[in-house]
Amino acid sequence: MTKLLRSWVESANSAETPFPLNNLPYGVFSTGGGAPRCGTAIGDQVLDLAAMEADGKLSFDGTLQTGSWNAFMGSGKANWSKLRETLTDMLGDGGDESLATYLVPLAEAELHMPFAVSEYTDFYAGKHHAFNVGTMFRGPENALPPNWLHIPIGYNGRASSVVLSGTEVIRPNGQLKGPDDEMPRFGPSQRFDIELEMGAVVGTPSNGPISVAEAFENIFGYVLLNDWSARDIQAWEYMPLGPFQAKATATTISPWIVTAAALEPFRTSTPEREKPLLDYLTEPGPMLYDIDLSVTIRPEGGAETVLTNTNLNVMYYSAAQQLAHHTTSGCPMRVGDLLGSGTISGPTKESRGSLLELSWGGKEPITLEGGETRKFIEDGDTLTLKGAARGAGFQVGFGDCVGQIKPARPL
Ligand code: MN
């Protein structure tokens, strides 16, 4: 296991910071209502990369001054390595302490979307999640669809609905119909839910089929992703084409892109195959990551309760497999394409990544720290996703992925 890389930014050397020198995640920030700028988080500071490039301390063809990471991602992998190596040298022990003038306390920085989401696809790669949901929707005999062990199932989502952590989420209205109702009715979703996911950010475009190995190389980095889901709308609308309005309200992402380079020491293999995969989906090496994940809920004015603890390493398909599969049709992938992993549920009840599973479809309400119970999300609740890969004495963290639910708009 890699050791902590020490930095002259002292707060970056703490075992608790999500942003040691090993991480160097990329985000976009502003201060005092100014223009959004590219930066990297280091300890409790953000280094203003846009200002450094403007002053000639970095040279990346102006891509760091665009207020988004898309242009830099599109400038190619050689630049990805060059910037990471340059920053590691500059910020490391014995580096350039005069750059302290470019540090801004994170507490004073307003964070913005780190990249423009060009397209958004959401997958369904968690076997425990697929089995649990299938059991509730179709019964245990038909829980896993017949294709599931052979193909990474997904649907095309809405890039327009992807929002930054901290953005309020308004409860959706939609068509609702319980199993015993004769007719559907229109109203606010009564079964609004989270999905704990990891989002992969495509940094190298492609136009035509690519291999799993190429797909792995084309992924720039990862963000935590909450695929807010209206279960009652979903149950009525999904046959035969899958999710539509149930998933179009909002998808929240964490503010920092944690690069594939930073996660390199934490690579791990997908679980053992239950059925052999077709050749084009076979992984040439470990392409999943060992990342601890958790979800908390906090009612308005109340205490926080941990809902789940799990790990990305339970996923049956990696993002590289999903991306390779996505391109087999010839589907072009763009810089800023976002791929949701699917809900990350572990094998135990305590490691389930959605309230649908945690409350077993609302049949087993969860008791919170303050004594309240929840089947699904109530207005005013704040849901927070956290994630970190853990090394010896340091962690590569993601920064929280937070959303508070507001009441539905009047009809
Ligand atoms: Mn999802």
The pocket of ion ligand 1, defined by CB under 5 A, consists of 122, 195, 227
Q: Which of the listed CATH numbers 2.40.30.60, 3.40.50.1110, 2.50.20.10, 2.30.30.230 matches domain 10-112?
A: 2.30.30.230
Could you tell me whether strands 45-48 and 103-105 are parallel, antiparallel, or unpaired per DSSP bridges?
antiparallel
Cα(68) to centroid of ligand 1, in Å? Answer: 25
Cα(176) to centroid of ligand 1, in Å? Answer: 20
Instruction: Give the pLDDT of residue 358.
Output: 98
Instruction: Give the pLDDT of residue 1.
Output: 57
Cα gap 100→353, rounded to integer Å: 40
pLDDT in tens, 186-232: 999 999 999 999 999 999 999 999 999 999 999 999 999 999 999 99
Cα(264) to centroid of ligand 1, in Å? Answer: 25
Cα gap 257→260, rounded to integer Å: 9
Q: What percent of the chain has a predicted confidence (pLDDT) above 70?
A: 100
* Residue boundaries of the structural domains of the chain: 10-112, 120-406
Integer-rounded Cα Rg, in Å, for the chain is 21
The amino acid at 108: E
pLDDT in tens, 35-72: 999 999 999 999 999 999 999 999 999 999 999 999 99
Q: How far are the Cα atoms of 16, 260, 278, 280 from residue 389, in angstroms, in the given order?
A: 12, 12, 30, 29
**Cis peptide bond upstream of 240, omega within 30:** yes
Cα(263) to centroid of ligand 1, in Å? Answer: 23
Give the tokens for residue 250.
């909002």
Q: 120-406, what's its fold?
A: Fumarylacetoacetate hydrolase; domain 2 (3.90.850)
- For residue 37, the cross-strand partners are 29
Given a contact cutoff of 8 angstroms between Cβ atoms, the answer to whether 281 and 301 are in contact is no
| pTM (2 d.p.) | 0.98
Cα(285) to centroid of ligand 1, in Å? Answer: 26
Output helix, strand, coil percentages for the chain, rounded to the nearest 5. 25, 30, 45
Cα(301) to centroid of ligand 1, in Å? Answer: 28
Cα gap 299→20, rounded to integer Å: 32
Cα gap 260→281, rounded to integer Å: 20
Measured in degrees and rounded to the nearest 5, phi and psi for residue 35 equal -70, 145
**Which residue shows structure tokens 């049956």?**
316
Return the active site residues. 129
pLDDT in tens, 141-187: 989 999 999 999 999 999 999 999 999 999 999 999 988 999 999 99
